[in-house]
Each structure stands twice: as C-alpha cells, then as structure tokens.
Structure 1
Amino acid sequence: MRAKVYLRELRRLHGELVAMQEWVKSSGAKICVVFEGRDTAGKGGMIKAITERVSPRVFRVVALPAPTERERSQMYIQRYIPHLPGAGDVVIFDRSWYNRAGVERVMGFCTEEQTRQFLRAAPDVERAIVDSGVILLKYWLEVSPEEQTRRLRNRINDPRKVWKLSDLDLRSYTHWYDYSRARDEMFRTTDTSWAPWHVAQTNDKKRGRLNVITHLLDSVPYKPLPSRDTKLPKRQQADGYREPALTVDQIPTPF
C-alpha cells in the first residue's frame, strides 16, 4: 500500500477513534483489547497507530513485565485483573494472560499442566469479564515465516531497531512450529462465542493496521456525539505587563 493512501485512510480512522473515545467517556463504556501474535507481527506498531491521536487518560496500554516471586505464587490471571477497564476506559494489552498459552509454554517457563489449567480456566474468566459489561476484543497478528525472517534481519542491521531484538526473540525464532501448535490449541479452547479470536494478516503492516482499526471501530457500538459550536474567547489585556529578557538557559536553535 502506498504511503499516501495509507496516511489518508489512517487520518480518517483516527477521527473515528476520537469519536469513539468521546462516546466511551460519555457512556461509561468499558473496552478491553488484547493483542497477541508472532514475534515481529507488528503489535507495537499496531498499538501506536491506534493510540497516537487519542487521550492516554482514556486509551491505556498495559505491557506487564516478568512476574515477581509473589505474583508467581498467585492464580496466573490474577495480576492482569487490576488492569481491566473501568467505566470510560479503553485498555489495550500488549500481550496478555495468553502469554501462558504461547511464549511461556513454548519456551518452558511453565509446565504442561499449568498450561492446561490456564486453557480450561480462561474461557470462564473471560465470560465473567464480558458479563461485567466489558467489550472484550482479542486479536492475533499473523506473519509468514519469510516475513518474520526479513524483519528480524532488519532489526539486526538497523541501529534504530536493535533494541527490539532480545535473546528470547532469537531463541523463539527456532520454534516456529511449536508456536503454531500452541496457537492452534489456544484457538480451539479459547475461541468462544462471548470472546472470539480475530486473526489479522500483517505481512503488509499498513493494510493490517487499517484492517484492525476498522474492525475495532465496527465492534464498538459508538455513536459520534454532536459537535460543539466552539469559539475562542478574548485573551486578557496586557495591563502594563512587558515580557522581560529571560535569564534562564536557552536551548540552542540550530534549525
């Protein structure tokens, strides 16, 4: 997709996201969006595209670090519960409780029994979330093995992106089909009528972003609020005030 076309469509969708935001604030709606997917599938760029023109007070991104010792002793999904949305919130999980069914399972960070317990419990927990009035949307971003290889090599060679490449990414790269099997079982057990999975192909990142944002907007029953007739008020008079020569340090102005 040409950049000009992409930016034009993204600008239009950003306007709709702002309209959705204002409806969420006024209606007290609760939206929870979960992003999972292959390494390099574009979760970060997708979330940035969704949130770059809306308020961080309404759209909150949750990306939890590795659990503490205390959190490891809790019920697995427990540490995610406090981050669920309240009235007027849109919460976006950059990876979520589904870590247990994916990276933790494949890389040996949990046992098979722990994974099975999670897969049995997740649908009931999500049923409770939805029954509490939360609109729960689960997206899986899928990328081909060839495109994943290209993107990882790009990260290795681009100093702007090297921070995106972790040792875990390199280890995970060798487990393509283990991740495929884990994904397939996760879909079989947690793709429910109340919380279905939605798969987005993201080999073309631009198309993928536009498709997901469009689907997100279509999945939320928002209605644009009436526009306000807003005019700037008159600014106060100087009343003798004069701007002094500022004595604090001024940054250089090379441009």
Structure 2
Amino acid sequence: MGKQRKRLGSAAYEAELFRLQQELVEVQEWVRAEGERVVVVFEGRDAAGKGGAIKRITQYLNPRVVRIAALPTPSERQRGQWYFQRYVEQLPARGEVVLFDRSWYNRAGVEHVLGFCTPEEHRRFLHQCPTFERLLVEDGIMLRKYWFSVSDEEQQRRFRGRIDDPMRRWKLSTTDLESITHWEDYSRAKDEMMTHTDIPEAPWYVVEGDVKKEARLNMIAHLLSTIPYTQVDQPEIEVPERPPGTGYERPPRDQATYVPDHVATLVGE
C-alpha cells in the first residue's frame, strides 16, 4: 500500500478554488460569445458531494447563462412520454450551460434498484441512452458526465451528520436512507450502467469523493481541461457621471414602509 498523500490545507484550497472559479467565468463568457452548448451530468451515490461541487461551480456565474436542472418526480403526464422527453426540454440553447443535478440516469440507478421502473423499461434505457447521447454530441453539444464515488463508511458518516444538523436535515430523504440497505444493488446497477453508457463520444469520469474539497477541485479542474475555450475580449466599461439635478425631491420617509432595523437589536442603539 502506497504512502498516503498529504492533505491540502484550507488556505491552499480556497486559493485554488477561487482561481478555478475565475477560469469558469472565462468559460462562461466564451460559451455566451461563441454560442456554444454545454451539458454537465452529475451522478453518484447519495451524499457523495454532487451538490457541493455544483454550488462552487455556479457561485460566481450568471444564472442566465449557467443553469441548474434538478427535475422533480415526473408527473402522470410525463410518465406517459418517451423517457428522455422531459430531459430534452432542459437542454441548453445557444450560449448556455446546463448542469444536471441528477439526470436521465435516474432510470439506471434509483428507479431500477427500488423498482420504480420495469425490467423492460430499464433494458430499453440502457439500449437507447448511448444513441441519445451520441445524437446530442453529433448536434454540437459538449456533454460531460461525472460519477461521484464515496465509500459506504463515509456515506454513513455524512448521513449521520445530516440527521444531527437541523440546517441540513432536509437533504436526507427516505430514498437516501434506503440506499444504505441497497448498497450492493446500487453497485451492481452502476457497473451495468457504466458497461452500456461509457462510450467514446461521452465517457464517464469518476470523481473520488471521500474528501469533499479535493473532489471539488479535481472535478472542476478536469471539466475546464476538456473545454477548448479561448479568452473573450471584454469591452471597456466606464461608469457615467451623474447628470445635473432637475429639482427632484424625495418624498418624506414616513410615507414609505421600511423593514424594521433588526441589526439595531444586535449591536445596540
């Protein structure tokens, strides 16, 4: 067994994360200027760190350019559609990036393991998915797929942390807890999914997720390395001088309803 690598310090992590976020802003401007279309799929075990990575990616980006797609449970009408149809509606137009916080791969994972789809529907998904993704890439969409891996011990530790934290308890669903008792079933489902859908046009990239901070940096750095962007020259912007006044007078303050000064209760009068 090799020697364990030294952990990255907090200061170094924050500095590298900010550098990568600056680069993400450059990618955003290139996507918008060139009319590119980018799709990033985030999949993996529950509590593997997908949400944290998405949060850091979007922190400084324009939500009109970079959008998160996190679809709810399908409606009765959507259950009667072609399976991929509601995901097609979320695909980017020119100059957009869409981050799928879970995606069409629900069918290969939770739906298959927990019996929310039939064996025939699962088989059809594995058959159609590579063709679907090849069509996206053929049409010019840059498709990147990331699987966040986490050990069973680390997953359980994170679950317990969520139960004890009222600010994060909402993240823990009954479906998440079921993943503990179906650990090997999910492993088999993931292996089968990878066998069918790890294609040259849209390969899977596995992110080791036991150390969240390192997983975020590794994933973002890799994503940036796969996008052939160039720096876009930005126009010079100047703040204009305020024009001379024309006699406008602001109405008396007592004519408006202001929010109470809550801060005064914290710092005193």
TM-score (norm: length of structure 1): 0.96
Partner of 1:100, secondary structure, is helix
Distance 1:246 1:54 in 2: 36
User: AA paired with 2:123?
Assistant: R
In structure 1, C-alpha distance between the alignment counterparts of 2:90 and 2:175, rounded to whole Å: 25
Match of 1:223 in 2: 230
Residue 167 of structure 1 corresponds to 174
Deviation at 1:73, TM superposition (A): 1.4
Question: Residue 57 of structure 1 corresponds to which residue in structure 2?
Answer: 64
Alignment-derived partner of residue 185 in structure 2: 178
Residue 5 of structure 2 is matched in structure 1 by none
Structure-1 residue corresponding to 2:14: 7
Q: After the TM superposition, which of the residue ranges 230-239 and 129-138 deviates more from structure 2?
A: 230-239
- Aligned amino acid, residue 250 of structure 1: Y
Indicate the residue corresponding to 1:145 in structure 2: 152
Following the alignment from structure 1 to structure 2, what is the Cα–Cα distance between the partners of residues 18 and 28?
15
Give the drift of 1:194: 0.2
| 8 Å Cα contact 1:37-1:43 kept in structure 2 | yes
Residue 46 of structure 2 aligns with which residue?
39
Answer yes or no: is the 8 Å Cα contact 1:100–1:118 preserved in 2.
Answer: yes
Q: Tell me the residue number matched to 1:48.
A: 55
Question: Number of residue pairs matched?
Answer: 255
> 3-state SS of the aligned residue for 1:155?
helix
Partners of 1:65 and 1:197 in 2: how far apart?
24
**SS of the residue 2:253 aligns to:** coil
Q: Which residue of 1 aligns with 2:82?
A: 75
Give unpaired runs (5+ residues) of structure 2: 1-7
Match of 2:258 among 234, 250, 253: 250
| 1:44-103 deviation line (CA, Å, top 9, x unaligned) | 111111101000000011011111111111111111111111110101111000000001
Deviations 1:147-167 (CA, angstroms, capped at 9, x unpaired):
001000000101111111111
- CA shift, 1:246, in A, is 1.8
Other structure's SS at 1:213 match: helix
Following the alignment from structure 1 to structure 2, what is the Cα–Cα distance between the partners of residues 115 and 94? 20
| Secondary structure of the corresponding residue to residue 67 of structure 2 | strand
Query: Counterparts of 1:199-214 in structure 2 under 5 Å?
Result: 199-214=206-221
Structure 2 residue identity aligned to 1:41: A
TM-score of the two chains, using structure 2 as the length reference:
0.91
2:138 equivalent to 1:131:
yes
Unpaired runs of 5+ residues, structure 1, are none
Cα separation, 1, equivalents of 2:217 and 2:252: 49
Between the aligned partners of 1:226 and 1:167, the Cα distance in structure 2 is 49
State the match for 1:105 in structure 2: 112
Give the SS at the match of 1:36: strand
RMSD: 1.3
Partner of 2:31: 24
| Structure whose CA Rg is larger | 2
> What is the percent sequence identity of the aligned residues?
52
Q: Match of 1:138, as an amino acid?
A: K
Contact 1:107 1:172 in 2 (8 A): no
Q: Given residue 141 of structure 1, which amino acid in structure 2 is its aligned partner?
A: F
Give 1:232's match in structure 2, choosing from 223, 239, 249.
239
Alignment match, 1:189? 196
Q: CA deviation at 1:243?
A: 4.1
User: 2 CA distance for matches of 1:27 and 1:203?
Assistant: 37
User: CA deviation digits over 1:193-248, x for unaligned, max 9?
Assistant: 00100000111111111111111111111111124333222122233334444222
Distance (Å, rounded) in 2 between the aligned partners of 1:58 and 1:152: 33
Q: What amino acid maps onto 1:19 in structure 2?
A: E
